[in-house]
Every structure is written in C-alpha cells, then in structure tokens.
Structure 1
Amino acid sequence: MTAPEPTVIIEARDEIVRIVLNRPHARNGVNLAMCLELRQTFERLDSDPGVRAVFLSANGPAFCAGADLKERVGKDEAWVRQRRQASFAAYEAIERCAKPVIAVIDGPVVGAGGEIAMSCDFVVASTATTFRWPEPRWGTVGATQRLQRVIGKRHAKELLYTNRVMTAGEAHRLGLVTRLVERAELGAEEARIASAIATAPALAIELTKQAIELGGETDLDRGIRIEMAAIERNLSDGSWRAGVRRFADPADDEQQKE
C-alpha cells in the first residue's frame, strides 16, 4: 500500500531548513495531518543544534487556502474542537521555535494560512500575495488574537467582519509583511536573509529572539532585566569574543558595515 504524500516537506541545506506546505491539490488547505506534521517538525527543529534558520513556504500557486473545511463534513462538535486545538498547537510550535523562522509567501493567503504566517518571526512576500480572513463568513471564529496584535484591533475587525481581500502592499504598510519583493526575487531574497543570519553566532541570535519574545510580555524595566540575563548567558558562552575580533579587524569592512 502506497504511503500518503507528506503534507509538509523538509528540505535541509547545510544549516538552513526549508519547510514547504505540500497540499497543492487543495491549495495547501490546512487539515489535521498538516497540523500534526507542522507541530512535530517545529518541535524537532527547536532542539536541533545544527539548524540556524527555518524558512516556511508552499508548493503550488497558493500559499494556503485556510482550513480545509471539507474534512469537517459529518464530524461532531468534539472532533471540530480537537481539530482546532491541533491547529493552535501547530501555530504555537512555530512561534516557540528557538530558531529564526521566516515565512516566504507568494499567492493567496487565507484564514489559517495567515495564522501560520503570523506565527513566524517575520514575513517576506511577493507583490502578488493577497490576504483574507473569512472565518465569520463560514460560521466560525478565528484569527482574533494574532491578527489584532500584528495590525491593530480596528484593522483586524474590519478584515474579519467584511472578508475583504488585503493586498500585499497594504499588508506591508500595516506591518504584517516585513519585506515586499517581486515574485521573481523571492528566492534571492530568501538566500540573502539566510546568509545574513548565518554570519551571526547561533547563540546570539537565539538569545535575541528569546529576549524580544519575553520582553514583549512585560514592561521596559523587566524587559531590561530579561536582556541582562541574556547578556550574562552569552558572556558565559564566550562566542562573543569572535564577534569583537571580527569588528576590530580593519580588513573586515563588510562585517563592520553590518
């Protein structure tokens, strides 16, 4: 019996890993299997010392068409509840991954696809990308928490209430998309970001992400304490000395420009 095709493909290139949503026949609609695979994949990457950065993209013309509601036909409320919990666990695994996680998006992004993108550290999108949150239209509730935290409460309400399509340009202006490039430039932009991340010591990047995430949950005074704790851990590792040597080397002009 032929094994089912994986809903998520893992492509490793040295220290960089690409995670590819792989249900192009369903416009990468999120089903239970994809939720479980995403969670397992990111929990594994979280503890892998050989991984420096993770890029999340998709096969096919759409990044993600949202939750695959077809799998809910004939199911009861208990099943739907467990399915939603599985999706939340998948988003959380992406968000909690200690490595930098960058979404590289092209084409339509709908509902749960937006949740996946917003769970990443930042989003690189082509100018052909669009976003839409139709949850209320389909009689369900979703995207009420991450979306307002990214673009603001009023913008989130307007998009959720109306099912309006948001262009990549608008998403860029509102801060949902961090870098906006032409479709033909997506691969090159991903490579540039991967190269930039790889030049920094792994621990410094990991601690930076951790300090930002923890600091965002508290006030500035406590945030500074979080940063000092990260600095102490970094100092005890000793890898900071290599950065000082690179900066002090007058021949290394490119590093100093960084």
Structure 2
Amino acid sequence: MGTEVLLDVVDGVATVVLNRPEARNGLNLAMCLALREVFEQLDSAADVRVVLLRASGPAFCAGADLKERTGRDASWVRRRRQASFAAYEAIERCSKPVVALVHGAVVGSGGEIAMSCDFVVASTDTTFRFPEPHWGTVGATQRLQRVIGRQRAKELLFTNRAMTAAEAHRVGLVARLTEPGELDAAGAGVAAEIAKAPPLSVALTKQAVDLGAETDLDRGIRIEMAAIERNLADGGWQRGVADFNGSVKAAERDREG
C-alpha cells in the first residue's frame, strides 16, 4: 500500500484516510488498489471493532482523476473502472462497521466511496455532486438510486447540480450532520458507541441488514433467525444481558439516591 491511502489502528478503531490532498483526493488507479487492499485487510483484522473513513485536505474526494486517462485506450479505462468497482465492493463487504466522515466536495466516485460505507457523517459544509454524464461517462447509477430513490438520482445525474449536506441528510444520503471543525470528534464519538457492542452481534447485525435488503420480509426474518442462532451459539449475548441488568440497577440506585 502506497501513500494514497493511510491506515492507523488505535484501541480497536481503524482510521482509513484518502491521502491525495494535492489532487483533492481524486480517485486514481493507485488509490483504487490501495482501498481494496486495506479493506480486505481490515475485514479479517481481529483487533479492529469499527472503521472510520475520512480524507485529508479541503475535499473528501473530487471524483475520478481524469488526468490519468490521457493517452489511454478504452481497454485501459475499462480495467480502471473495474478496479474502482472492486474498491467499492471491498468497502461494502468489510465485516466491520464502516463510517464515512465527509467534508467539502464529494463528487462522483467520492459519493460511491461514501455510499459503500454503512452510513455517512457529514460536515455541514459538504456538497454532493454526481457529474458522470456531464463528464461523458456513466457512473453512480446503482448505489445512488438505492439510497435516495430513482427519480432523485436521475435529477442529480442529469443536471450535475450540487446537493447540500442539509438536503443529503433530508433524503437519507447522510445519517448525521456536524458543524465544520467537529467532524473528527463526532466520528470518534460514533466509533466509541459502536465499539461498546459485542463484535459478533454487530457483525451479524450488519450482515443481516445487508442480506435482508436483497430479499422479501419473510426471507429476511429467516436471515435474522439464522443470525440469532449463531449469536446464541457464541454465548456473547450473556454479556449483553448482564450489562443491561447492571445499567438498570445503576439507574435505580441513582433515583433512590
């Protein structure tokens, strides 16, 4: 892994950083390969409880780096696009909860990266734009519509307009908003809350939600039951019950005191 993507793990929290600030973190082939490598590594990392994905510099990601396509043929561009799809998939399939912390410009491929995460925390100065058709290409046609709906996705893709963080929050692309300058602290708080839960129950919950989204309710319930059985077999659920009972008793003592 080169310098395009940085990785740091502290107390069970992995921080992945898009690190091409001089190019506004434009997604190039090297970054695609690095993202795939680091998320495949994190998927099986026993010491990691949660992953935060953020970016250095004033923009989260200004989209695909079109400069690297100069002088390339269609075959190269096709392989490059396949590399980006593999990177998104590696993020999406990571068994750990992955939270995107976005700020500034989130354009094209930057939006794909963010939507590949489990949810997005955004600074209020963030803007989202999906200009692929206006750049003479095709992209963001699948994840975007699944997140915000078909008509909204078409409107953004066809017009190339910028969507504010407030609108993105309203339509479900962003889960939480934070003030500029407070994004890292907000991310640390989210990571700390996630890390409190038993790792297996969180992993099984993520898997059940993702698999359930691909089927009907009846099959989704069967997926959840299978996850429950696996969780019961592990025995870690007993800690959750003990923690809950402990918190109830502490609350009762506080009321009596």
Q: Which residue number corresponds to residue 67 of structure 2? A: 70
Q: Which residue number corresponds to residue 82 of structure 1? A: 79
Choose from 121, 133, 136 the match for 2:133.
136
Tell me how far apart the structure 1 counterparts of residues 70 and 241 of structure 2 sit (CA, whole Å): 59
What do you get for the CA RMSD once the two structures are aligned?
1.2
Q: CA deviation at 1:181?
A: 1.0
Q: CA deviation at 1:11?
A: 1.4
Q: Which residue number corresponds to residue 169 of structure 1? A: 166
1:17 aligns with 2:14: yes
Aligned partner letter, 1:192: G
1:218 aligns with 2:219: no
Contact 2:2 2:34 in 1 (8 A): no
Q: CA deviation at 1:61?
A: 0.1
Tell me how far apart the structure 2 counterparts of residues 221 and 80 of structure 1 sit (CA, whole Å): 42
Deviations 1:156-214 (A, max 9, x none): 10110011010000000000000011012212211211111111100000000000001
Aligned partner letter, 1:58: A
Q: How does 1:139-218 map to 2 (within 5 A)?
A: 139-218=136-215
Aligned partner letter, 2:85: F
Contact 1:168 1:180 in 2 (8 A): yes
Tell me how far apart the structure 1 counterparts of residues 227 and 240 of structure 2 sit (CA, whole Å): 16
Indicate the SS of the match to 1:79.
helix
Q: CA deviation at 1:12?
A: 1.1
- TM-score, normalised via structure 1 length: 0.95
Indicate the SS of the match to 1:104.
strand
- TM-score, normalised via structure 2 length: 0.96
1:235 aligns with 2:228: no
Q: Which runs of 4+ in 1 moved over 6 A?
A: none
Q: CA deviation at 1:252?
A: 4.1
Q: Which residue number corresponds to residue 108 of structure 1? A: 105
Indicate the SS of the match to 1:118.
helix
Deviations 1:91-143 (A, max 9, x none): 00000000000000110000000000000000000000000011111100000
Q: Which residue number corresponds to residue 91 of structure 2? A: 94
Deviations 1:45-95 (A, max 9, x none): 001111100000000000000000000000000000000000000000000
Q: CA deviation at 1:251?
A: 3.8
Q: Which residue number corresponds to residue 28 of structure 2? A: 31
Tell me how far apart the structure 2 counterparts of residues 107 and 72 of structure 1 sit (CA, whole Å): 25
Aligned partner letter, 2:156: L
Aligned partner letter, 2:70: V
Q: CA deviation at 1:7?
A: 0.3
Tell me how far apart the structure 2 counterparts of residues 164 and 101 of structure 1 sit (CA, whole Å): 27
Tell me how far apart the structure 1 counterparts of residues 112 and 28 of structure 2 sit (CA, whole Å): 14
Indicate the SS of the match to 1:183.
coil
Tell me how far apart the structure 1 counterparts of residues 26 and 35 of structure 2 sit (CA, whole Å): 13
1:52 aligns with 2:57: no
Indicate the SS of the match to 2:16.
strand
The count of residues paired between Structure 1 and Structure 2 equals 251
Structure 1 unaligned blocks of 5 or more: none
